[in-house]
């Protein structure tokens, strides 16, 4: 099972541009609409919205794509 995160956790993930870091702003445990697409989420497989530290862009990711940082 993937690691669980909560709002306020500082995390990193890999993107096409390299490693990105940001802060979890929302935890989804039900399906939700993100940029015109339905993202699947449940209590067992939540998805997270993260605000990038550098660009302030909001990204949505599964927990398996994220790693908690020491900040």
Model confidence at 2: pLDDT above 90: no
In a domain, 3, yes or no: no
Which pLDDT belongs to residue 4?
93
In a domain, 54, yes or no: yes
In a domain, 32, yes or no: yes
CA R_g for the chain:
11
In a domain, 53, yes or no: yes
Q: Where are the beta strands (DSSP E) in the chain?
A: 10-15, 18-28, 32-34, 37-39, 47-52, 58-62, 67-68
- Residue 60's DSSP bridge partners are 49
- The C-alpha atoms of residue 20 and residue 61 are separated, in whole angstroms, by 12
In a domain, 4, yes or no: no
pLDDT (mean) for 27-49: 95
In a domain, 48, yes or no: yes
Q: How many structural domains is the chain composed of?
A: 1
- Looking at per-residue confidence, does 35 or 70 come out higher? 35
What is the span of the domain harbouring residue 45? 10-68
**pTM, entire model:** 0.89
């Amino acid at each position: 099972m993937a690691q669980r995160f909560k709002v306020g956790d500082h995390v990193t993930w890999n993107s096409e541009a390299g490693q990105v870091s940001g802060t979890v702003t929302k935890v989804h445990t039900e399906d939700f609409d993100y940029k015109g697409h339905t993202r699947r989420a449940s209590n067992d497989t939540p998805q997270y919205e993260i605000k990038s530290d550098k660009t302030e862009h909001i990204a949505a990711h599964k927990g398996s794509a994220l790693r908690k940082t020491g900040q």
